[in-house]
Every structure is written in C-alpha cells, then in structure tokens.
C-alpha cells in the first residue's frame, strides 16, 4: 500500500503523514479486507506489505513510519492478517525499520517476509532476518543506467544486480518493479 486512508493519518492527506495510533487496528482490518476481497475473487495473495517506502520523502501517496511504529503495529495489530506480512520495504533496505520488530518477541512471529528496495545501495546479506528464519526479498528497484533508451548495458547491469541479490545477499526473491515505461 502507498498510504492508509487520509482520515487515519496525522496529515489528513494521502501524501506524507503517519498513521494515527488510534487507527492501527483499523488499518490492519483495512489490509485484511484487501486480502479477503482478492480471495473471494479467486486470487490467494502470497503476502501483503504494510507500507511502501515508509522512509521516502515524496509528493505522491505515501505514509511515514519509524521502526518503532512498525514494531508496535506488527506486535499489536497484524495478527488479523490471513496471509504473510511483508515489511518494512524501505527505499534503501534500511534495517532500522525492521530490526525493532525482529527483536520484539511479540512481533517477530507475525512477520513472514523482510523486504526492501535497493535504491542507492548494493544488495547485502541481512543476518538478523536470516537468524530469525525470515524470507528476505528485494521488492523494488528501477535500474536503467542508459536512461529512457535501454541498451544491452542495462540488461547486463540488471543481470549482475539480480545475481548479487540472489548469491551475495542470499535473498529469497528479487522482484523487478518496472519492466517498461510506456
């Protein structure tokens, strides 16, 4: 998700702002309603994320979270989810967003996948997530060194990044975010 509903946020907007603690349970039920909607229409989601890029400073739909806020939400509210929870999906795979929940005995059991994006960083092994028995996924990166006209160099750079994600970092999945900009 890019944002909780605006009425549940400190900004009262779909852009920026944090989820109000009074609406943590509402947000968990909101995410579960998405899972249920898809299941009722023949699609069983493998996992659901709690937030896309909680650390991004952007002008489009978004929400700000801290690692402590994520931990509290996971520990106290995520148990309503009937599919795996994916978190934190920070834009630079910043582990300070997932470490508090991984260290919290009340939260760690609710996390199925520790995921992140690799903007500005190289894929790296996440020992804490691995030690907690969590899948580690790279869930977004847009790699196009050549710009708007892709070249064989872009394909080679992507192949190297996928290789480094799956071997060096030992991620369980690499999800290519943007195949083409039409």
Of 84, 85, 114, the closest CA to residue 99 belongs to: 114
61 given a catalytic annotation: no
Long-range CB contacts (within 8 A, 24+) of 3-7: 3/61, 3/62, 3/63, 4/30, 4/63, 5/30
Q: Which residues contact 20 (CB under 8 A, 6 or more apart)?
A: 8, 9, 10
Q: Which residues contact 157 (CB under 8 A, 6 or more apart)?
A: 143, 145
135 given a catalytic annotation: no
| CA 79 – CA 77 distance, rounded (Å) | 6
CB atoms within 10 A of CB 149: 7
16, 89, 91, 140: the active-site residue: 140
16, 53, 91, 161: the active-site residue: 53
What is the DSSP-derived secondary structure letter of residue 2?
-
- Residues identified as active-site: 53, 140
């Amino acid at each position: 998700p890019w944002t909780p509903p605006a009425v549940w946020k400190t900004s009262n907007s779909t852009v920026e702002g944090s989820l109000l603690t009074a609406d943590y349970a509402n947000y968990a039920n909101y995410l579960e309603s998405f899972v249920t909607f898809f299941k009722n229409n023949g699609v069983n989601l493998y996992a659901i994320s709690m937030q896309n890029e909680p650390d991004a400073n952007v002008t489009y739909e978004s929400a700000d979270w801290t690692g402590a806020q994520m931990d509290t939400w996971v520990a106290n509210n995520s148990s309503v989810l009937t599919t795996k929870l994916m978190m934190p999906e920070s834009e630079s795979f910043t582990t300070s967003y997932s470490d508090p929940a991984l260290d919290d005995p009340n939260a760690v059991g609710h996390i199925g996948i520790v995921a992140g994006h690799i903007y500005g960083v190289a894929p790296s092994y996440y020992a804490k997530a691995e030690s907690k028995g969590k899948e580690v996924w790279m869930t977004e990166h847009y790699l196009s060194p050549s710009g708007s006209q892709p070249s064989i160099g872009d394909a080679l750079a992507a192949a190297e990044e996928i290789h480094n994600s799956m071997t060096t970092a030992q991620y369980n999945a690499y999800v290519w975010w943007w195949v083409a900009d039409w």
